[in-house]
A and B are shown apart, each in its own frame.
Chain A
């Protein structure tokens, strides 16, 4: 497995406090072009806060963020244009069809494509053609995820940020999703995947970053991921709360 070394996402000594609660406490990591980085951590570890800081929805108290050369604190719109975000529950307009959702989100973001190209994107992510013109309210979670990825793809984003993407997916849909992620990574997209799904992380990630209490507690490279029992390493770090 060859990973290109160009860094797309950099997070450096990020701190964020909510009242007395220290959500992020000097968190640092990078995601490279064509790399899938799985961000593991228990509930409240700081995964979603990190993503919100990356997307510019939260302002960190200190530390630096860089997305393809852009600091979201300085120019949040440009930074957001370089990344695509897929939340745990892909939010779509339930009364619009899949293709209408794709067109609406894309055109609102000034992405101009023909209907044929939009259809091609839905085909690429594996949405069955009969579902293109059905209202999203009738979609399964897996189908919604696919539309979410198609929206992300329409942007030609340099980085893809996923928050618990496989949560609630059946094994088959989860497998399909994993296949899609790998396909995207092979096209050079940097992928940051915050997840609890240790199996998917071990299967798909090129690197795994384990965080707890807002700090990075371990980073596992591709070779090591394949060698260890990820669950044991993860539990050891979380229970022990060992700091790197």
Chain B
């Protein structure tokens, strides 16, 4: 039945020329988007590997010096990308991907790839995610708006129903036929998953949510085509729905989320770090720690301590600042997460928002994954500081502080080897979006039931 319908639609459309043109244009757009994405993805992967290797070499070959000098010498870590980022780079180009790890400061991520492009180029970006999330529904609409409405206009719908074909059989044959034709554009997704990934939960779900998204648009298109009196009316309704859910609503959702959960600017946040961390209170806490240490060792000067006071003081200062960093960063991150959650919740009105959230999450290119990387980088920074400070404490001259460490110490700092978290450890963040897609499917099932009732009494419409 499906093959028969496919064959008929293919022959019909081929003779009309419409479908082949549409398929050709969509495939071309996707090809260009994939090639462009492949180019930037390869560059990113190469950069990341180069940065990782050169930074490790720079760290190890920094020469003999005091551990605290090494702490200020610092190192850079770059966020590795996932192979699914090839299809959905998400926020990767807009977030900093490199973090400088150094003493006393928890740095924000730097170097946004978008800064490396011409400003005009930002308006013409064509990514596979854009094609799949925004243009694919448009392709579904253009292929399917007339599936039932045109049959109604040319009288073949009545003829088919009069043959005793059940409306449900007709409706679902048309829907699955549309799904089969339009799913062809998901082949690059399947290929990318098969070539670059092992079949795991993340990749399986990534492909799955795109299939569900296409199916949602196929169901909606066939239902509207069945309910509209004319193909032209069906097209207008579907284009309006597409523009609302894929273009307008996401913009409104962003405005709503930022209005409801305002976040201070990056510059203001940076100045708040400086004013909140390096305060008189910190100096007092260090002085108190000094008194407690002297009392503990029952000595009156730091020179009498059995270790280098400078190293101990540096580590105390780091730990004091770390608590402040945790507080400030967690406040800012929770504000950003609230924004992201508000945006995600509006996916109930737009399958685009639900898919976009899940797609970025599964491709590990969203804010949640950025936070995970940022936390891992900070953990590494703290490990470096602790190792260097304790080394200074234990080895530096107790009065002069003179001490030079060498490659043995630098080698004790493990290479930063960041791994993306498993999706199962983060799935709770994405439950609203999964639920939103489910709600869309349930809503469309109800719409289909209504449509079938209308199709049954075709002349009573």
Q: Which residues of A contact B116 (CB under 8 A)?
A: none
Q: Are B164 and A77 in contact (CB under 8 A)?
A: yes
Q: Which residues of B contact A59 (CB under 8 A)?
A: 457, 460
Q: Are B158 and A108 in contact (CB under 8 A)?
A: no
Chain A's closest residue to B13 (CB) is A95
Known contacts A59-B460, A100-B11, A80 near B162 by CB under 8 Å: yes
Q: Are B4 and A57 in contact (CB under 8 A)?
A: no
Q: Are A91 and B155 in contact (CB under 8 A)?
A: yes
Q: Does B51 contact A (CB under 8 A)?
A: no
Q: Are A87 and B159 in contact (CB under 8 A)?
A: yes
Chain A's closest residue to B151 (CB) is A91
Q: Which residues of A contact B155 (CB under 8 A)?
A: 87, 89, 91
The docked-state distance in angstroms from the alpha carbon of A94 to that of B458 is: 22
Q: Does B267 contact A (CB under 8 A)?
A: no
The docked-state distance in angstroms from the alpha carbon of A100 to that of B161 is: 18
Q: Are B159 and A85 in contact (CB under 8 A)?
A: yes
Contact pattern, A 96-114, Cβ under 8 Å of B = 1, otherwise 0: 1000100011011100000
Q: Are B15 and A57 in contact (CB under 8 A)?
A: no
B163, B170, B456: the one contacting A56 at CB < 8 Å is B456
Q: Does A189 contact B (CB under 8 A)?
A: no
Q: Are A85 and B162 in contact (CB under 8 A)?
A: yes
Known contacts A108-B1, A108-B4, A92 near B156 by CB under 8 Å: yes
Q: Which B residues have a C-beta under 8 Å from some C-beta of A? A: 1, 4-5, 8, 11-12, 15-16, 154-156, 158-166, 170, 173, 456-460
Q: Which residues of B contact A100 (CB under 8 A)?
A: 8, 11
Secondary structure at the B interface, as helix, strand, loop or mixed, is helix
B15, B160, B170: the one contacting A135 at CB < 8 Å is B15
Chain B's closest residue to A92 (CB) is B156
Q: Are B163 and A95 in contact (CB under 8 A)?
A: no
Known contacts A80-B162, A108-B160, A91 near B11 by CB under 8 Å: no
B4, B161, B457: the one contacting A80 at CB < 8 Å is B161
CB of B89 to closest CB in A, whole Å: 42
A87, A93, A107: the one contacting B158 at CB < 8 Å is A87
Q: Does A190 contact B (CB under 8 A)?
A: no
CB of B159 to closest CB in A, whole Å: 5
- Taking A107-B4, A108-B1, A108-B163 as given, write out 18 further A-B residue pairs in contact, using a Cβ cutoff of 8 Å, ordered by the A residue number: A55-B162, A57-B459, A59-B457, A76-B456, A77-B164, A77-B165, A87-B159, A91-B156, A91-B159, A93-B156, A96-B11, A100-B11, A104-B8, A108-B4, A108-B5, A108-B160, A108-B170, A135-B15
Q: Which residues of B contact A55 (CB under 8 A)?
A: 158, 161-162
CB of A64 to closest CB in B, whole Å: 18
Q: Which residues of A contact B158 (CB under 8 A)?
A: 55, 57, 85, 87, 91
Q: Which residues of B contact A94 (CB under 8 A)?
A: 154
Known contacts A91-B154, A92-B156, A57 near B457 by CB under 8 Å: yes
Q: Does A242 contact B (CB under 8 A)?
A: no
CB of B338 to closest CB in A, whole Å: 53
CB of A102 to closest CB in B, whole Å: 11
Q: Does A149 contact B (CB under 8 A)?
A: no
The docked-state distance in angstroms from the alpha carbon of A108 to that of B156 is: 12
The docked-state distance in angstroms from the alpha carbon of A10 to that of B158 is: 22
Chain B's closest residue to A155 (CB) is B163
Q: Are A151 and B156 in contact (CB under 8 A)?
A: no
Considering only residues 56-83 of chain A, those with a C-beta below 8 Å from chain B are 56-59, 76-83
Q: Are B159 and A52 in contact (CB under 8 A)?
A: no
The docked-state distance in angstroms from the alpha carbon of A107 to that of B5 is: 10
Q: Which residues of B contact A80 (CB under 8 A)?
A: 161-164
Q: Which residues of B contact A82 (CB under 8 A)?
A: 164
The docked-state distance in angstroms from the alpha carbon of A135 to that of B161 is: 23
Q: Which residues of B contact A76 (CB under 8 A)?
A: 456
The docked-state distance in angstroms from the alpha carbon of A104 to that of B460 is: 26
The docked-state distance in angstroms from the alpha carbon of A80 to that of B161 is: 8
Q: Are B8 and A58 in contact (CB under 8 A)?
A: no
Q: Which residues of A contact B161 (CB under 8 A)?
A: 55, 57, 80
Subset of 25 A-B contacts with CB under 8 Å:
A55-B161, A57-B459, A57-B460, A58-B457, A77-B164, A81-B164, A84-B163, A85-B159, A85-B162, A87-B158, A91-B154, A91-B156, A91-B159, A92-B159, A93-B156, A94-B154, A95-B15, A96-B8, A100-B8, A105-B160, A108-B1, A108-B163, A109-B165, A135-B15, A155-B163
CB of B19 to closest CB in A, whole Å: 12
A90, A93, A105: the one contacting B163 at CB < 8 Å is A105
Query: 5 shortest A-B CB distances, which residue pairs?
Result: A91-B155, A81-B164, A57-B459, A80-B164, A85-B162
Q: Are B457 and A109 in contact (CB under 8 A)?
A: no
Q: Are B11 and A52 in contact (CB under 8 A)?
A: no
Q: Which residues of B contact A93 (CB under 8 A)?
A: 8, 12, 154, 156
CB of B165 to closest CB in A, whole Å: 5
CB of A100 to closest CB in B, whole Å: 7
